[in-house]
């Protein structure tokens, strides 16, 4: 299967290298980026990509390319998705599909009635640790789910210039955790209560966002989930999870470079977590593209469809309203405003 990648930034390169090195039955035929320069073009040629463009429309018009990976800036995801659907291409789209619910609805409407595959890039679903936790919950090994705790902290805050266009912490960072709650629990979120603060960088607050948050979510089953986020963790990328049920619990700890623990007169020390998401989730990035390629080849549903791209955005909008208005917010309240 010949793939085209739209966007040659950090995540576009990750996917290109994953396909080239690890994904069987697929190859990167073309890559496009409006900011293509000599350095990026050299990287693409060294990666064995034969067609290199500035204009992504050349990928969409190429009859040899069966599917596209949309790795461009967030504000282009939905528009390019619509163009790719019109061109008859299967689509892997990095999260989020859009921050605007109406634009996500347009993508879903365009997909309706087609046989095109559409997968959203919630890569954490494909992490070996989180998948094991999901299987344990699904198999009933911990009984009925009572509580779910998700910890997600970045090693350092992104530049304020990024914060200003990110859509806010809930639609940029916590969106992964909202998806994790749905994935691990197999349930839907009914109500959100969020508290937020600016404790890392005052400029983030001046940009209209928060950098630290705790979110409580009530699920349809009655279970309660809690997410805690921070844009700064001095010890590295903190990604942990605990699902507690009537028969026990399943816990996911941080990945480290080794499991060695040193015990001596100075104390007991172990490795810090892997530094950031590329180190932590490289295998997951490969696994999600493998899953997408398999869905196209076998004509099966993708594991993370467009509806899975919509749900965390609705939850994120509810969380943002909860912070602004200091009250619990029903997800149905947000959905109703968009006729959902």
Residue 111 CA to residue 168 CA, distance in Å, equals 28
CA 132 to CA 243: how far, in whole Å?
Answer: 12
Q: What is the dihedral of CA 35, 58, 19, 253, to 10 degrees?
A: 50
Number of domains the chain is built from: 2
In angstroms and rounded to an integer, the radius of gyration of the C-alpha atoms of the chain is 20
Pair (204, 243) in one structural domain: yes
pLDDT tens by residue, the chain, 340 residues: 999 999 999 999 999 999 999 999 999 999 999 999 999 999 999 999 999 999 999 999 999 999 999 999 999 999 999 999 999 999 999 999 999 999 999 999 999 999 999 999 999 999 999 999 999 999 999 999 999 999 999 999 999 999 999 999 999 999 999 999 999 999 999 999 999 999 999 999 999 999 999 999 999 999 999 999 999 999 999 999 999 999 999 999 999 999 999 999 999 999 999 988 888 999 999 999 999 999 999 999 999 999 999 999 999 999 999 999 999 999 999 999 999 9
110 and 148 assigned to the same domain: no
- Which of 102, 122, 82 lies closest to 305 in space, CA to CA? 122
- Residue 213 sits in the same domain as residue 332: yes
207 and 261 housed in the same domain: yes
Q: What's the pTM value of the predicted model, to 2 decimals?
A: 0.96
Strands in 329-330's sheet, in edge-to-edge order, are 248-252, 238-245, 145-153, 224-230, 212-219, 189-197, 329-330
User: What span, in angstroms and rounded, lies between the C-alpha atoms of 170 and 192?
Assistant: 12
298's tokens: 């076998």
Q: Which pLDDT value is given to residue 276?
A: 87
- Residues 39 and 153 placed together within one structural domain of the fold: no
| Ramachandran bin of 16, using left for φ above 0, alpha for ψ from -120 to 50, beta for the remaining angles | alpha
Q: Is residue 284 part of a domain?
A: no
CATH value at residue 218? 3.30.360.10
Instruction: Tell me if 13 is assigned to some domain.
Output: yes
Backbone angles phi, psi at 228, to 5 degrees: -125, 130
70 and 129: one domain? no
Could you say which of 116, 145, 180 is where a domain stops?
Answer: 116
In a domain, 293, yes or no: no
- Same-domain status, 142 and 27: no
Among 116, 144, 179, the domain-final residue is 116
Distance (Å, whole) CA 95 – CA 175 = 9
pLDDT of residue 277: 87
Domain boundary among 53, 85, 116: 116
Distance CA 322, CA 36 (A): 41
Closest by alpha carbon to 70, among 24, 112, 107, 124? 107
How large is the angle between the packed helices 128-138 and 174-185, nearest 10 degrees?
40
| Domain that includes residue 246, residue range | 125-276+311-337
Q: Which H or E element spans position 307?
A: helix 306-325
């Amino acid at each position: 299967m010949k793939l085209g990648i739209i966007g040659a930034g950090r995540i576009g390169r990750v996917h290109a290298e994953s396909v080239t090195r690890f994904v069987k039955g697929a190859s990167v035929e073309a890559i496009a980026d409006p900011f293509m320069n000599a350095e990026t073009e050299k990287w693409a040629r060294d990666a064995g990509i034969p067609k290199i463009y500035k204009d992504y429309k050349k990928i969409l018009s190429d009859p040899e390319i069966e599917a596209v990976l949309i790795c461009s800036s967030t504000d282009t995801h939905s528009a390019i998705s619509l163009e790719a659907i019109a061109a008859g291409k299967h689509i892997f789209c990095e999260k989020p599909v859009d921050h605007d619910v109406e634009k996500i609805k347009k993508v879903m409407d365009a997909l309706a009635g087609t046989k095109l595959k559409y997968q959203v890039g919630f890569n954490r679903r494909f992490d070996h640790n989180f998948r094991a936790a999901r299987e344990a919950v699904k198999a009933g090994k911990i009984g009925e789910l009572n509580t779910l705790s998700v910890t997600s902290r970045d090693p350092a805050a992104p530049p304020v210039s990024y914060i200003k266009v990110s859509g806010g912490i809930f639609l940029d960072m916590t969106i992964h955790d909202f998806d994790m709650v749905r994935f691990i629990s197999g349930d839907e979120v009914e109500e959100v209560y969020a508290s937020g603060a600016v404790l890392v960088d005052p400029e983030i607050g001046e940009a209209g966002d928060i950098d630290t948050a705790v979110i409580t979510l009530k699920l349809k089953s009655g279970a309660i989930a809690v997410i805690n986020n921070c844009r700064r963790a001095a010890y590295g990328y903190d990604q942990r999870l605990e699902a507690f049920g009537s028969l026990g619990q399943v816990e996911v700890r941080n990945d480290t470079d080794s499991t060695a623990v040193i015990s001596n007169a100075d104390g007991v020390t172990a490795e810090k977590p892997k530094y950031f998401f590329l180190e932590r989730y490289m295998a997951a990035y490969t696994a999600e593209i493998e899953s997408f390629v398999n869905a196209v080849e076998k004509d099966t549903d993708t594991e993370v469809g467009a509806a899975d791209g919509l749900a965390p955005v609705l939850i994120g909008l509810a969380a943002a309203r909860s912070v602004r208005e200091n009250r619990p917010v029903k997800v149905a309240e947000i959905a109703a405003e968009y006729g959902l």
